[in-house]
Structures are given as C-alpha cells and as structure tokens.
Amino acid sequence: MPHTEEILHGRYAVVSCHVEQPLDDEAWRRFSRLQKRPPGGFPIAALMRPPAAGEDEGLWLERAREAEAHGPFGLHTHWTAPDHARPTNGDPAAVVREQGEWLRSKDLKAQLFCGGGWYIDEGVAEAVAELGYADCTATAFRPDYLEPDAQHLQLGEPTWLELASGERLLEIPTTHSIGMLARGLWGPFRRPVVHAYFHDTDLLSKRRRAALSFGLTFLYLKRTRTDLGELQRRLRPEKTMSFANSRA
C-alpha cells in the first residue's frame, strides 16, 4: 500500500470507555455487552484501570483479555486510589511506566493511555511515548471539577506533542462526554476527530445508557466510524507543538 494511503484524512469518530471498576460484576456485564454490540457499531476502546492492592488480579486479567479481544486496549492510571484518580505524591511517570511494563509482562497489548482525572505532565508524557502508546488525556473541554491551576492539557484536535527528550507523542484528545454527545454540543462539526468517552460506571444508570445509545447512533450518522487503535497506528496529524507550550 502506498505510504499516503496509510495516512488517514477525513472526519472521524472514535469511542473510548474508562473502565474504572472492571471487578464490579454489574458494571463489567454492562460494559462487556456494550463492547460486543455497540450502538452505532463503534469499536469501543477499553482504557482499563489496573488492579490496586487487594483487588483480584486473576479476574482482572481475564476481563482485560476479553476487552482486548473486542476492541482497542489501553491503560487508565488512577494514581492515588481506585476512587481517587489524580496523583497526590510520588513520581506519576514511574507509576505509568510500571503499569505499562506490567501489562506487557502479562502479554496485554496496550496502545493507548488516558491519565485518571485528565492528569498528564511532561514526565508522564515521556513514559507514555516510551511505551509506544498514543495519549487520550487531553480534552477539548475544561473539566469543571478541576481547580483553575490544576495540571491539564486542553487541545481540540490530534497533535504531535514534542517532548524535552526529543521523543514525540501522538495526542488524540477526548472531545465529548456522553452528555455533550446527547445534547449535540459538537456544533457544526469543525473538529477532524470526534472522540467520545464514557465510564463503565455510567452504564449502571438507565438514563446514561439511553443517552449513550442515542449519542453514538447520532454520531454514526454524522461521521466516518473508526477506532482508537486504527488512529494510533495510522493517524499523522499536521499539527505539532511542544508539550511545554501546550499546557492550558
């Protein structure tokens, strides 16, 4: 295939799920069912939180392998605790490196990263680039729970982030929550890639399940369907910026 055909051009949509509670049977059952029969036919990337101390690693691995078989697979780090995503101390990059290496040691082929609580710093970005993942931690919106000075990366479109080490990281920002999709807030379709996300725990709510189903069906009518794995392999954004200059 000629090189140029390997570069995606167009107006795409992709979907990811932050799988926060893969050991919760009901959340898992709902997620797993959705991943096998997704609304709008979108392959759903499973960005999974690795097991914390005391969580059942065997069951986690079984479920992670199932998720990996049904869509793109990635790492979703919660630094502090299962219910506290952002880091509070220590070296955030070291945790990402350790978790990425652990996934690799278990033969799980992650391609993607999303920092819990939308946290990323340049050290984390370096670790994600070293692991060979694309990053989805930047958002096109400002999460309303973040303090004004909280570390966060705001970007509207896929971008190469140039890092201090000389590496570069493919950033595929998350652009829409379920609520934004359902409200049609993406407006006049200016963004080259719509990347919608939800949480596995959202699926425990009937109202949110209905909103997701509506949103993805609508998205399918408006955009070319692809998935984050495909974008990680083939997307070559025109835009480049240095990580140091990209922080909101």
3-class DSSP assignment, residue 178: helix
Q: For the CB of residue 234, give the shortest distance to Zn ion in the complex, in Å.
A: 27
Return the structure tokens found at 157. Answer: 């479109």
Give the nearer residue to Zn ion in terms of CB position, either 47 or 219.
47
Indicate left, alpha or beta for 78 from its phi (over 0: left) and psi (-120 to 50: alpha).
beta
The 8-class DSSP code of residue 184 comes to T
Judged by beta carbon, residue 48 or residue 108, the one nearer Zn ion is 48
**Residue number of the CB atom closest to Zn ion:** 116
| Nearer CB in complex with Zn ion: 119/243 | 119
Shortest CB 18 distance to Zn ion, Å: 5
- Looking at beta carbons only, is 20 or 126 nearer to Zn ion? 20
**What is the C-alpha separation between 226 and 236, in angstroms, rounded?**
15
Shortest separation between residue 118's beta carbon and Zn ion, angstroms: 9
118: enclosing H helix or E strand: none
The least distance separating Zn ion from the CB of residue 49, rounded to whole angstroms, comes to 6
CB of 120 to Zn ion, least distance (A): 13
Of residues 18 and 152, the one with the C-beta less far from Zn ion: 18
Q: Which residues bind Zn ion (CB under 5 A)?
A: 18, 20, 85, 116
Contacts for 220-225: CB closer than 8 Å, 24+ residues apart: 220/13, 220/39, 220/40, 220/41, 220/42, 222/13, 222/189, 223/11, 223/12, 223/13, 223/189, 223/194, 224/10, 224/11, 224/12, 224/13, 225/12, 225/13, 225/40, 225/41, 225/42
